[in-house]
Structure 1
Amino acid sequence: MTVEQRDEAIGSAANGASAPRNTRPMTGDEYIESIRDGREVFIYGDRVADVTTHPAFRNSVRMTARLYDALHDPDRQSVLTAPTDTGSSGFTHPFFRTPHTSADLFADRDAIAEWAKMTYGWMGRSPDYKAAFLGTLGANADFYEPFAGNARRWYTESQEKVLYWNHAII
């Protein structure tokens, strides 16, 4: 599948069309590979060649990879995963979906708590950190007009891959 075909499929699902796609979050190895992309990171004035192996970042990278791997662990899937609401037949972290019921909110809470337990509370900015914002992209896409299609597309892609969004305040 080309990038254009993938983007079209994601856009179709985000706009309500059903598509027989089987989607899933990244694994830990896929997450690690995704950040070996030539990004420019500097620490103390020196460029970091590979954030996945640099002493300042490698432990956080490995812990985040464990979080992604936990989504594929059969012993944790009942707490850490839920079906997507994007028209695919895949699964996601519950907090990456827009909640519609109190049961959804409890599932979100339990999944967040499970990841927090895995990190002993030391990963305050884990992949679920920005998921609440991402839920608004699906629930309130029209708010973002004239970019509602983009909002739905990012909601779909973020949910299906459990993308790790973050920000820095400088």
Structure 2
Amino acid sequence: MKVFGVAGHSGMGKTTLLERLVPELRSRGLAVSLIKHSHKDIEIDRPGKDSYRLREAGCMEVLLLGDNRWALMHELRGAPEPPLDYLLDRLQACDLVLIEGFKGGDFPKLEVWRAAVGKPLLWPAWPGIVAVASDAPLPVDGVKGLDLHDTATVASFVLANARLR
């Protein structure tokens, strides 16, 4: 499996790009998975449901299986966040894993940057950023720029720069 990251400040359009990028990569015959890191306290379960109640009762993991999907919820219960390699080990085999977040991770990343948001580039401070996808000319030299709206070119760049795990 290969890995490639998408980075950027909140509100830059990372998810919007990924929503276009995943179907483009799938149309090229690839099996694609995603790992997203959030600094928020995420909740994918709902209060009152059996799985929520059993997790709250103290289960370390709850695996929920339905007609169309399954989800494994693992409670950290104060333990440190697991490293990216640990999480990658838990994914099924695929061709490409897109990674959002893990800013310190040593893997190639594409920064999504829009001047209108009013935040500075993460490049060159974040390791691994090999290009910036933007809807405007970049305010700096030294990093490759891609058109944020040219999904096919972004997909080709991702495939050319993804690294074997």
What TM-score, normalized by structure 1, do the two folds share? 0.27
Higher fraction of helix = 1
Structure with greater proportional strand content:
2
The answer to which structure, 1 or 2, has the higher relative contact order (CA under 8 A, 6+ apart) is 2
- Give the TM-score normalised by the residue count of structure 2: 0.27
